Amino acid sequence: MGNKVKIEQALKDAFAPVYLNVMDEGAKHIGHAGAKEGGHFRVEIVSDAFNGKKLLERHRMVYAALEHLKSSIHALSIQARQ
């Protein structure tokens, strides 16, 4: 199972999102420092779990859900909305 699929599954399990889009942006970073150590991903997620949460708290929730995958992620861009 690829990292993109693992990220999708972890976020689905944690947040039951009404919308989820995980994009592997690794191709944009080929050749730059850190590109070999882990993937570059963009996450767009909408979930009721984020209701009443501030932006920083939503991001922390996403990072916590992906903690077990952190060695596979070099860069993560997050758009988490309620």
Q: For residue 67, is pLDDT > 80?
A: yes
DSSP codes joined into one string, 8-76: HHHHHHHH--SEEEEEE-GGGGTTSTTTTTSEEEEEEEE-GGGTT--HHHHHHHHHHHTGGGGGGEEEE
The tens digit of pLDDT for each residue in 15-51 reads 999 999 999 987 665 565 555 556 899 999 999 999 9
Q: For residue 7, is pLDDT > 80?
A: yes
pLDDT reported for residue 38: 66
- Domain 3-81 of CATH type 3.30.300.90: yes
Q: Going by DSSP bridges, is the β-strand pair 19-24/73-81 parallel, antiparallel, or unpaired?
A: unpaired
